[in-house]
Structure 1
Amino acid sequence: MSSSSASSSSAAFVVICLLHSLIALTSGALMIFHMKEIYTFTHGLETATKLLGSNPHDQLLIQTSDSFSGLLLFTIGFLLFMVSFVRDKGFQSFFAKGCTVLHIFMALWRVYFERKVEYLAWDWLMKTFGDVILALSWVFFLVYSWREKYD
C-alpha cells in the first residue's frame, strides 16, 4: 500500500470524525442552553409546552435531563474530535464499525420506541433518516479503506 493511499483514507477518517464531532458539539450545546427554543422550533409552541412539563417539578426534572443529555452529546463530540487524530488503521476500522452499529441501533430504537410517543410520532422518521445517513458515512469510510487495502 502506498503512502498516498494510506493518507487519503486517514484524511477521510479525519473529515468524517470532524463532521460528526461538529454535529455532536453543536447539538449538545443547544440541548444544554436552548432546549425550550429547540422544542418550540421543531415541534411548535403547543407541543413544546407539553414536552417541557406541566408543573415546576416536572419542568425542572425535564430541564435537568435535557442538560445532562446535551452534556453527554457534547462530550461525545469532544471525544470524536480527539479520535479524529488517531492514525492507526486498525483502530480507525474498529471505530468506524462501532459507530455504524451505534447509529443502526439508534435508528432501530427510534423505529420501535420513539414513534410510539404521541408528541414525537411525526418526528421519528426524519431522525431515523438522519441516523441512517450518519451510519452510511462510516460505511463509506469502511468501503473506501477496504478498496484501498485490496487494490
Structure 2
Amino acid sequence: MERSVQVARGEGGAAHDRRGRRGEAAEEAGLRYVSDSTPGIRRRRRGRGFSYTDTGGRTVTDDRERERIRSLAVPPAWTDVWICADPLGHLQATGRDARGRKQFGNTRAVCRSCYLYPAVPAAHLEGDLAGHWERSRASRWYRRGERATLSLLEAAASPR
C-alpha cells in the first residue's frame, strides 16, 4: 500500500513521521493520509466553467477522473482550489471562501466517522439523556462512538 506521509526533522536532524493519530485513523478507514501541501489537481476558471490540471501541469481529460472531481461538488466560489490526486486520500479538496478562510472537502468515510446522530445531543438538551440512554443502550442503531458520547454526557450530567 502506497502512503503519503509528511516527514519533519526533529532535534539533531532526525526524521520523524508527522501523521500521528490522524494518519492512523485514515488508514483504519481504508484511506490514505494526505496533505494539501503535496502536489494535487488544481482548478482554474475557464470561461463559464473550470479546467483542471494534474500534478504534471497537464489538463485532466479522463472522463472518470473529471466525474470524480465533479462529484466532490467543490463550491464555484472557492478560490485556490486543491484536489487530491488520490481517490483514497482522506482529504479530497481544499479551497478558500470569499473571506479567505480555508475550507475542507472530505470523503464520505471521513464525514460519516465525524457524524453524530442528532437524537444524542437533542436528548441531552431535553434533559432526557438518561431515558434515551436506557432505551438505546443495547441498540445496534448507534455506533460505538455514539454510545461512548452518550456515556460521557451521562457522566457529566449525573450529580457527584
On whether the aligned pair clears a TM of 0.5, the verdict is no
Greater helix content: 1
TM-score, structure 2 as length reference: 0.26
TM-score, structure 1 as length reference: 0.27
Larger Rg: 2
Q: Of the two structures, which has the highest relative contact order with CA contacts closer than 8 Å and spacing of 6 or more?
A: 1
Greater strand content: 2
